Amino acid sequence: MSTTVEEALLGRRSCRAFRPDPVPRAQVERILDLAARSASNSNSQPWQVHVLTGAAKRALSADLLCAYDEGRRAAGEFAYQPGADQWLEPFRTRRRRFGEGLYRDALGLGPEDTEGRRDHHRRNYEFFGAPVGMILTVSKLPLQGALVDAGLFLQALMLAARGAGLHTCAQASLLDFHPVLRRHVRIPDDHVVVCGIALGYADEEHRLSTHRTTREPVSAFATFYDSADTKTRVTA
């Protein structure tokens, strides 16, 4: 359990193996209540969250797995990330490094093991065994700003979950099957799906429990300016 923001940030990870232990509804509501404290443009709060547990989550997962196995991917409602072959550097390299770290190093699945990799990918649609599955949506109307607001809400949700001793995994993979999601939850017509979220207790016995991704150092993405002449005087 995390007691400070720093501990929550350092302890947060994309958990891909959960225990089936149920999470009390009151605890889920508390996490959502805390996440709702997130900043949003003009306090518009454009997000909605659809929470599935029990039979409702099992029914959605079964439908998602069927759609995945039959190759029924749908065109995106909107494009907020490039296709798999459209990432530019340095993001292409980082994405490839992530995939190698997950499939090859953590799971022991080489590039030739297409069946093993497919089996692991299928687990996305079961929310990696988590007892709680969520679908995060935002309004289309202020879409660009709403996506920023959704990111703030999502981060707050994940940190609040760590504060409660829980783990999460944000799942963009569900975007490919947004028509399936709409059959199971009441997503308003003026909303688009941002991602799915798995929530629960991490399975610390699973081989993925020790898997961690790296982060770029501050020097790689931050530039400090200490003079009015910002074009020539920079503090590295």
pLDDT band at 174, cuts 50/70/90? very high
Concatenated DSSP letters of 59-78: HHHHHHHHHHHTT-----SS
Distances 10 to 2, 130, 169 between C-alpha atoms, Å: 9, 21, 15
Q: Tell me, what's the pLDDT at 203? A: 96
Domains and CATH numbers, the chain: 5-235 (3.40.109.10)
pLDDT tens digits for 60-79? 999 999 999 999 988 766 66
pLDDT band at 98, cuts 50/70/90? confident
**Can you tell me the distance from the alpha carbon of 173 to that of 150, in angstroms, rounded to the nearest whole number?**
17
Q: Which of 22-26, 106-110, 136-140 has the lowest mean pLDDT?
A: 106-110
Q: Tell me, what's the pLDDT at 231? A: 63
Q: Tell me, what's the pLDDT at 60? A: 98
Instruction: Identify the residue whose tokens are 């074009």.
Output: 231
* pLDDT of residue 13 exceeding 90: yes
Give me the chain's average pLDDT, please.
91
Q: Tell me, what's the pLDDT at 164? A: 96
**Can you tell me the distance from the alpha carbon of 207 to that of 223, in angstroms, rounded to the nearest whole number?**
38
* pLDDT of residue 232 exceeding 70: no
pLDDT tens digits for 154-171? 999 999 999 999 999 999
Residue 133, SS3 per DSSP: strand
136 within 8 A of 196, measured Cβ to Cβ: yes
